[in-house]
Structure 1
Amino acid sequence: MGLFDNAVPGGNITKPLMIALGALLVGKMLSGRSAEQPDQPETAAPPAPVPTEATASDGGLLGGLGGLLDKLRDAGHGNTADSWVGTGQNQSINANDLGNAIGPQIIREIAQRTGMNEQELLKQLSTALPGIVDKLTPNGQVPQQHQVASAFNS
């Protein structure tokens, strides 16, 4: 897997988790479903909000890595998020805190796309994100969005 080797405890990143990480950070694997089934409406969800929130220039559901970090900072977890980017020890984040920061609509969207239940998704993301963000920011700098995307193509 290259870049993400040893990024998560145990070293294994499952395919659903990679899909979830790709959805959050680069928008990868998100456009496929809507492109394949453009005429099928989402259940009880108006189509209008989708283009504004999702995959704007391949930035993921939150606007890429920078957007994810901003969401965490806005939710009061800036020190934790900054520890992942910085060169020191990565702080952990509680699954519920991560879910509250990302927001229930986005968690629901990713859970549907990965086939995971929301609690399991949050548990795995809260375990994986510190190491993944750390690997994506080796010099303590948030990379350009195309650099994050290329990490998911390897």
Structure 2
Amino acid sequence: MGLFDQMVGGVLGKVGGTGALGGLLNSALGGSLGDALPGMVNSALAKTEFGSLAGLVTYLQENGLADQVASWLSSGENLQVTAQQLISVIGQEHLAHVATAVGLPPETVGDLLSQHLPGLIDKLSPNGQIELPTA
């Protein structure tokens, strides 16, 4: 069972689907779960080749998405990234590892990352570097 399953599985089971997860993430980024979500994502990514959220961001920067990542880390408007761009850069195998780490079906992770990663990174980088909340 993945980290997200453990943390929010009951809620998602009741409201169903990745659309519900997307809604939950949108709410979480602005709500009380907002402080916990970055740590949850970082912990899940620790189980992957990326090692952390910062590791994923560095990988994206070094493999073709430098402009997008720079916009997320800056105070300006965030450039969007598509699921296809993420799949192309990260690769299906690595994306499957991320999916396993967060307890989601692999086919949903690209869409979820494309929708929520820019805002999450933006929120965590008020000074241009990722700053995870301390517990």
Same fold? TM cut 0.5: yes
Unaligned runs of 5+ in 1: 1-7, 31-53
Which of 15, 22, 27 aligns to 1:12? It is 27
Shift of residue 69 of structure 1?
Answer: 2.0
Partner amino acid for 1:123?
A: D
CA offset digits 1:94-151 (Å, max 9, x no partner): 10111222232221123234443223111011100000000100122333xxxx263x
State which of 72, 78, 84 in structure 2 corresponds to 1:90. 78
Bigger drift between 66-75 and 76-85 goes to 66-75
1:41-89: CA deviation from partner (whole Å, max 9, x where unpaired)? xxxxxxxxxxxxx54xxxx641323322221122211000010000000
Q: Which residue of 2 aligns with 1:100?
A: 88
CA contact (8 A) 2:44 2:102 kept: no
Tell whether the 8 Å contact from 1:75 to 1:100 is kept in structure 2 after alignment. Answer: no
Where is the helix percentage greater, Structure 1 or Structure 2? Answer: 2
Aligned to 2:57: 69
Query: In the superposition, relative to structure 1, how do residues 142 and 113 fare at CA in structure 2: closer, same or farther (>3 Å)?
Result: closer
Write the letter of the residue equivalent to 1:11.
N
Structure of higher CA gyration radius: 1
> Structure 1's 65 and 116: CA in aligned 2 closer, same or farther, altered over 3 A?
closer
- Structure 1 residue ranges (4+ consecutive) displaced by more than 3 angstroms after TM superposition: none
Query: TM (normalized to structure 2)?
Result: 0.62
Query: Does the alignment pair 1:112 with 2:127?
Result: no
Task: Give the number of equivalent residue pairs.
Answer: 106
| C-alpha distance in structure 1 between counterparts of 2:63 and 2:44, whole Å | 26
